[in-house]
């Protein structure tokens, strides 16, 4: 039993629709080993645990089941309202050694993680001290892996509110990029060589995650409970594209032999807005992820951002060039990160392009050449950039490409 002053390790399980979250939870709930885990689910009806594992089924009326006790010590409870209040109540009422939360339907993994890691100001219950976020797990469906990056639901301009609605690819990317353990599930349905390739892509997207292949969610509970793998800052910085930007080079990995590519394109000169918009809308299908900043000629006031997750491509104003800040503020950035000053251009400051591309089976050289062609030529550097038609939105990142059905 957890003593009152040892925080209970929390595992957050996320994954896209039908990936196998419930199957995985059921597996943990009915594992042979004695396990004092509390499993918090959104929909009790989904957890079709076999009667033989349910200890006190008779005490539960069908309509009012809130907590089911399993014969191996696990309890399964339904999330009724606010997650924090619920886990607070649970900790008051029960003794358990691990908490496993299915995050679907509650919120996306990052806000859930934030809630556990840092508490929530307005909530009655403060989880810090009682709970400790321990492991972020994402269940990925191997069978529909590639479709996962191609929902065909990229948004049209008209659909976009400021900040935009998120498309499934973006949610999937969050789950992959912000996790400690990736369960590549439904491995029974996919040949090994293909699994190797998926693993290589996952590793490129999230180099820090431990990847496990599972069939019907059959994971050893010790791989996802009390692993000690979570670290908020590391998790926030560990996405493949962030690492690539920070370190600017390849990490030793199995990526290459499976046709997985990850590279940075950088340029000191701006892109021609129309040419680069056209290219962004027509990136090779194999590019699973692209992200970073770029300089679009005529938009010297703002750093443009590119964010491609699967078929969804957003581009537009995103950040601030240091060059547009008052000098005193610039100095503070220079002091914090001396590297900035080294790359400073006398005329243009930090304006420039740094984009990461991650994917498989696309030709890096061809893409690099195409990107180079979008950069202003020597002659164009002297033109009036404000005269160029600008296809990007004036004030936010917009969807650029639609999946061609």
Ligand X SMILES: Nc1nc2c(ncn2[C@@H]2O[C@H](COP(=O)(O)OP(=O)(O)OP(=O)(O)O)[C@@H](O)[C@H]2O)c(=O)[nH]1
Return residues touching ligand X (CB under 6 A). 15, 17-23, 46, 104, 185-186, 188-189, 215-217
Nearer residue to ligand X within complex by CB, 130 or 139: 139
Provide the minimum distance between the beta carbon of 71 and ligand X in the complex, in angstroms, as a whole number. 21
Provide the minimum distance between the beta carbon of 141 and ligand X in the complex, in angstroms, as a whole number. 8
Provide the minimum distance between the beta carbon of 144 and ligand X in the complex, in angstroms, as a whole number. 10
Is residue 87 within 8 Å of residue 81, measured between CB atoms? Answer: no
Residues 6+ apart with CB under 8 A from 332: none
User: How many Cα atoms sit within 13 Å of 400 on the Cβ side?
Assistant: 27
Provide the minimum distance between the beta carbon of 18 and ligand X in the complex, in angstroms, as a whole number. 4
List residues bridging with 170 in a β-sheet: none
Nearer residue to ligand X within complex by CB, 217 or 240: 217
Provide the minimum distance between the beta carbon of 281 and ligand X in the complex, in angstroms, as a whole number. 31
Is residue 357 within 8 Å of residue 288, measured between CB atoms? Answer: no
Nearer residue to ligand X within complex by CB, 188 or 196: 188
CB-CB neighbours of 106 under 10 Å: 20
For 328, counting Cβ atoms within 10 Å of its Cβ (0-12 exposed, 13-18 middle, 19+ buried), the class is exposed
- Rg over CA atoms, the chain: 24
Provide the minimum distance between the beta carbon of 217 and ligand X in the complex, in angstroms, as a whole number. 5
Render the burial of 186-210: b for 16+ CB within 10 Å, e for the rest.
bbeebeeebbebbbbbbbbbbbbbb
Nearer residue to ligand X within complex by CB, 37 or 204: 37
Residues 6+ apart with CB under 8 A from 346: none
Nearer residue to ligand X within complex by CB, 21 or 272: 21
Task: Collapse the DSSP code of 209 into the 3-class scheme (helix H, G, I; strand E, B; otherwise coil) and give the result.
Answer: coil
Nearer residue to ligand X within complex by CB, 215 or 341: 215
Dist CA 116 CA 88 (whole Å)? 11
Provide the minimum distance between the beta carbon of 292 and ligand X in the complex, in angstroms, as a whole number. 31
Nearer residue to ligand X within complex by CB, 17 or 335: 17
């Amino acid at each position: 039993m957890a003593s009152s002053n040892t925080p209970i390790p929390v595992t957050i399980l996320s994954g896209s629709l039908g990936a196998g979250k419930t199957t995985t939870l059921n597996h943990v709930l009915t594992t042979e080993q004695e396990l004092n885990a509390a499993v918090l689910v959104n929909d009790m009806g989904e957890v079709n645990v076999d009667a033989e594992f349910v200890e006190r089924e008779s005490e539960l009326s069908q309509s009012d089941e809130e907590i089911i006790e399993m014969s191996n010590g696990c309890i399964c409870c339904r999330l009724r309202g606010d997650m924090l209040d619920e886990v607070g109540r649970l900790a008051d009422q029960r003794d358990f050694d691990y908490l496993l939360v299915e995050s679907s339907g509650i919120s996306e993994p990052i806000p859930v993680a934030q809630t556990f890691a840092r508490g929530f100001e307005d909530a009655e219950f403060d989880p810090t001290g009682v709970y400790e976020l321990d492991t972020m797990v994402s269940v990925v469906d191997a069978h529909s892996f590639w479709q996962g990056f191609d929902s065909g639901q990229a948004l049209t301009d008209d659909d976009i509110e400021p900040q935009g609605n998120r498309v499934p690819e973006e949610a999937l990317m969050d789950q992959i990029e912000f996790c400690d353990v990736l369960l590549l599930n439904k491995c029974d349905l996919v040949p090994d060589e293909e699994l190797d390739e998926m693993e290589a892509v996952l590793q490129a997207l999230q180099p820090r995650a431990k990847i496990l292949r599972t069939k019907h969610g059959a994971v050893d509970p010790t791989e996802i409970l009390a692993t000690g793998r979570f670290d908020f800052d590391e998790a926030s910085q560990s996405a493949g594209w962030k690492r690539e930007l920070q370190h600017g080079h390849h990490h030793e990995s199995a990526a290459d032999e499976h046709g997985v590519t990850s590279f940075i394109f950088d340029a000191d000169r701006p892109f021609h807005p129309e040419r680069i918009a056209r290219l962004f809308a027509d990136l090779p299908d194999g590019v699973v992820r692209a992200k970073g900043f770029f300089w679009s000629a005529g938009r010297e006031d703002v750093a443009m951002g590119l964010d491609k997750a699967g078929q969804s491509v957003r581009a537009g104003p995103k950040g601030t060039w240091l060059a547009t800040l008052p000098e005193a503020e610039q100095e503070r950035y220079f002091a914090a990160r001396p590297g900035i000053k080294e790359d400073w251009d006398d005329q243009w400051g930090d304006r420039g392009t740094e984009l990461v591309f991650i994917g498989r089976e696309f030709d890096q050289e061809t893409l690099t050449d195409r990107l180079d062609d979008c950069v202003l030529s020597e002659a164009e550097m002297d033109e009036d950039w404000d005269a160029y038609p600008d296809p990007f939105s004036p004030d936010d990142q917009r969807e650029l490409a639609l999946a061609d059905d």
